[in-house]
Structure 1
Amino acid sequence: MVPATLLVLTSLLLLAVLVSAADLYKILELSRSASDKDIRAAYKRLSKKYHPDKNKDEGAEEKFVEIAQAYEVLSDSTKRRIYDRHGEEGLKAHEGGQQHHANPFDMFSNFFGGGHPGQQTRRGPSSLSEMEVNLADMYTGGSIDFMVKKKILCDHCRGSGAASSDDIHTCPGCNGAGVKLVRQQIFPGMFSQAQVTCNECGGRGRIITRACPHCSGQKVLDHTQHYSLEIPRGMPEGQEVVFEGEADESPDWDAGDIVMRVRSRREKGGFRRKEHGLYWRETIGVDEALLGFEKNLTHLDGHVVQLKRAGITQPGFVQTIQGEGMPVYEATGYGDLYIEYNVVLPQKLSPEMRSKLSEAFHGHAGHPKDEL
C-alpha cells in the first residue's frame, strides 16, 4: 500500500511538470509558424487584456505572468530555436538548469514605451481624425461604428514580399550585411574606403527571387477595417479615443495608433453645450411674454422638461433649470440647463387687436385709421 502522503507529493510533482510543459505557442494563441511580428502582436494584445491593473478576474495575474514568460522565450531567436527542437527541458539545459525569467511587469513597461530607447522597436506613424457625433450620444452614452482604410501585412507572405520562404536568399552582393565597402582613389597612390548601402538589396541584406502573387511583392495590402467607438456619458468635447496599434502596418515597424478626436455635431436650432451646461433657445409670442405660459421641451434622451413662466418674460431673458444639463463625466450628477427666450412680434395688428391694446396700455380705444 502506497502511503497517502507519497500519493499527494507525486500528484503535485506531476502537476508542476504539466504546467512547465505548457505549450508556449498556445499560451500566446499562435501557431508554430508565427512570425516575430505575430509574436509581438499577440503579446501586446494578451498582456494588456490580462494586466492585473485592468483585469480583476481571478487568475488574471497568473495568466499575465504566463504570457510574459512565453513571450520571453519566443521573442528570443536562440531560445525559440532550442524550444522548438527540445522543448522546456532543452531550455533548462541551455540555461544551466535554471530559468531566469524577467520580471513580467518590467517587460510590459519596456514593451509599451519604457526601458532603454535602444531596445525599442521602431514605431510607425499614428493617424488623427476628427469625428462628429450627435450630442444625444454624448448625453446618454452609446457606441458608433465606423470604418478606416489602412495598410495591413499581406496575409500570404506575412510582410516578406516573397512567394515562399524558399524564395528569400542572402544578398550575394553584401553577404547579408546590407552595406558594402567601396574603395575610392583620392589621388594617385592614395585610396579611401567608404561604407555605402548595398545597391543590390537596398540595404535589406536579402533578395527575393519570386515575388508574392497576392501583394506583388509590396508586402502590404489595402484593407478596410470596421471599428466601434464607445462614447461614455458626458464625454468631454475634443476627447481623444486611442485605438492602439491599429494604424498602417509594415514589416519595418510596429503599427502606430488610430486616434479619434470626438466632438458634438453642431445642429441649427438644437441644444448647445458648454462643458456641463446645456443651452436652448425658446421662441415665444408677445402674449406669452406678457401673460406667462407653460411649455414642454423634449430633452436629448426623450424625457420632457416643463418650461413655466408666470410673469413677464423680457426678450433675451435666461432661465436656469438646475440638474437638466449634461452628465458630469466619470462622476455623478448633472450640470444645468439654460433657456434663453426670444420674443417674436407680430407682422401686423388687426383693427380690433390694435384697439384692445391701445385701451389696455393707454386707457382709450385706438382709431382704425391708425393701423399700419
Structure 2
Amino acid sequence: MRSFWFLALACWVWLAAAADLYKVLEVSRSASETDIRKAYKRLSRKYHPDKNKEPDAEKKFIEIAHAYEVLSDSEKRGIYDRHGEEGLRQAEGGQHHANPFDMFSQFFGGGGRQEQTRRGPTMLSEIEVSLADMYTGKDVDFMIKKRILCDHCRGTGAASDGDIKKCTGCDGMGVKLVRQQVFPGMFAQTQSTCNECGGRGKVIVRKCPHCGGEKVIDHTAHYTLEVRPGMPEGHEVVFEGEGDESPDWEPGDVVLRVRGQKIRGSWRRKESSLYWRETIGVEEALLGFERNLTHLDGHTVQLKRTGVTQPGLVQTVAGEGMPVFGGNGHGDLYVEYNVVLPTSLSPDLKRRLADAFHSTRPKDEL
C-alpha cells in the first residue's frame, strides 16, 4: 500500500470532521443513493492523486472516500444526519475504515471485488456551434431529453415502502418450482421465473401515483458544454453517467459530438487552417489595394496587394488561422481573391486605367 496510508488512516476522521459530508460530495441533504454514487464517481476521479497533482488532491480524495462510505450506508447516514460526526464516531467505536484506494478500485472494477453492474446505453447527440465560438471558446448551454428515476418513489414504482410486499407466488424467491409427471410414478421438477413478480421476489400492491409504477419519468436535463478554442470538427465530449436512469442499471454516458455551423459564403475551416474568399474589383486587381478583414473574434487583419492580382490567387496570412487545439499558436489563413468585372467603365476609371497602362509603356510605343 501507499506509504502515506498509515498516517492518513489515523487522521481520516479528524479531516472529515471539519467539513460537512454532503458539501464534500457536493450534494444536497435530500440526495438519493444514485446522486451520492454519481457524485463519488465524478469527484474521486477528479481528485485521484495518480491523475491530479495538486498539493491537496490526496487529502481531498480521502475526504471524498470517507463521505461516500458514510452517506452510501443508510444506517451510518441516519446516525450522521441525527448526531453528526461525533455521534458517528461513538456509534462506530473505533471500527476499521475502508482504504480509500481499495474503495476506488472496487468501485471502478480496477482490483479487489468487482461489482458486476449493468451499464445503460450510451446516448449520442450532436450540437452545432458557430465557427466564431470554436475560435474564441465559449460555454454553450444545451438540453437533452432523457429518463430519470421517479423523484417520488426513487425508482421502486410503489406509492410507499409499505406497498412493496413479498411475492406469495414464489415466497420471495423469484422462481417457481414446477413438478411434472413424466411417467407413471416418475416426476420431474423444473424451475422457472415467477410470472407474478417477474423474478424480483416482490410485488407492488399500490403503484406510485407520480410515475404510474413505471419507476422512471421523462426529464429535460440542462448541461453546459465548454467549447475550447480550436476544438476540432466532430470532437466528442463525454458526460459520464448522465444517460437514461433505471433501477436495473447504472446510467450510461452522454456523448456530445461538436459540429461547426456551415454558412454559405462565410469562413471555412480545415483543421487549424481558415479559408476566406475576398471579392475585389478590376481596378484593385490591376493597381493593388489595402483592405481590412474583420476576423472571427473581431480583430482586424490587413490584406494588402501591390501588384496584379490574378482571379483565384490565394494569399497566405501566417498565424491567422484557428488556434491549435491543446497546443500553442495558430494555423494559417488562406485568402482566395475573386475578381469581379464591371458591366461598364466610368470615364474616371477609364482615365485611371489608361494612365496606369500608358505610364508603363515605352516612349516609342506612345
Q: TM-score range by the shorter chain?
A: 0.7 to 0.9
Give me the whole-angstrom Cα distance separating, in 1, the residues matched to 2:55 and 2:43.
16
2:58 is paired with a residue whose SS is helix
**Does residue 174 of structure 1 match 2:159?**
no
Letter aligned with residue 51 of structure 1: H
Superposition deviation, residue 199 in structure 1: 0.6
CA RMSD of aligned residues (A): 3.7
**1:150 aligned residue:** 146
Number of aligned residue pairs: 344
The correspondence for 2:107, drawn from 98, 104, 111, is: 111
Superposition deviation, residue 53 in structure 1: 5.2
**Does residue 236 of structure 1 match 2:232?**
yes
**1:101 aligned residue:** 98
Letter aligned with residue 66 of structure 1: E
2:144 is paired with a residue whose SS is strand
Give me the whole-angstrom Cα distance separating, in 2, the residues matched to 1:221 and 1:250.
10
Query: Are the counterparts in 1 of residues 15 and 63 from structure 2 also a CA contact under 8 Å?
Result: no
Letter aligned with residue 174 of structure 2: G
Which deviates more from structure 2 when the two are superposed, residues 24-33 or residues 242-251?
24-33
Alignment gaps of 5+ in structure 2: 1-10, 362-366
Q: Deviations over 1:288-346 (max 9, x none)?
A: 21111111111000011111111111111110000100111122211100011112223
* TM-score in terms of structure 1 length: 0.79
Matched-pair identity in %: 67
**Does residue 334 of structure 1 match 2:306?**
no
Give me the whole-angstrom Cα distance separating, in 2, the residues matched to 1:32 and 1:230.
29
2:209 is paired with a residue whose SS is coil
**1:297 aligned residue:** 293
Superposition deviation, residue 71 in structure 1: 3.3
**1:366 aligned residue:** none
Give me the whole-angstrom Cα distance separating, in 2, the residues matched to 1:296 and 1:32.
58
Superposition deviation, residue 159 in structure 1: 0.6
Give me the whole-angstrom Cα distance separating, in 2, the residues matched to 1:117 and 1:37.
20
**Residues 357, 301 of structure 1: alpha-carbon distance in 2 compared, 3 angstrom cutoff:** closer
**2:126 aligned residue:** 130
The correspondence for 1:61, drawn from 58, 74, 77, is: 58
**1:44 aligned residue:** 41
Letter aligned with residue 63 of structure 2: E
Give me the whole-angstrom Cα distance separating, in 1, the residues matched to 2:30 and 2:280.
72
Letter aligned with residue 137 of structure 1: D
Give me the whole-angstrom Cα distance separating, in 2, the residues matched to 1:172 and 1:89.
41
Give me the whole-angstrom Cα distance separating, in 1, the residues matched to 2:79 and 2:182.
50
Letter aligned with residue 41 of structure 1: K
Q: Which aligned pairs between 1:216-235 and structure 2 lie closer than 5 A? A: 216-235=212-231
Superposition deviation, residue 87 in structure 1: 4.5
**Does residue 265 of structure 1 match 2:261?**
yes
Superposition deviation, residue 84 in structure 1: 9.9
Q: Which aligned pairs between 1:178-189 and structure 2 lie closer than 5 A? A: 178-189=174-185
Alignment gaps of 5+ in structure 1: 1-14, 364-372
**Residues 62, 185 of structure 1: alpha-carbon distance in 2 compared, 3 angstrom cutoff:** same
Superposition deviation, residue 134 in structure 1: 0.3
Give me the whole-angstrom Cα distance separating, in 2, the residues matched to 1:17 and 1:343.
76
* TM-score in terms of structure 2 length: 0.80
Give me the whole-angstrom Cα distance separating, in 2, the residues matched to 1:23 and 1:175.
46
**Residues 172, 344 of structure 1: alpha-carbon distance in 2 compared, 3 angstrom cutoff:** same
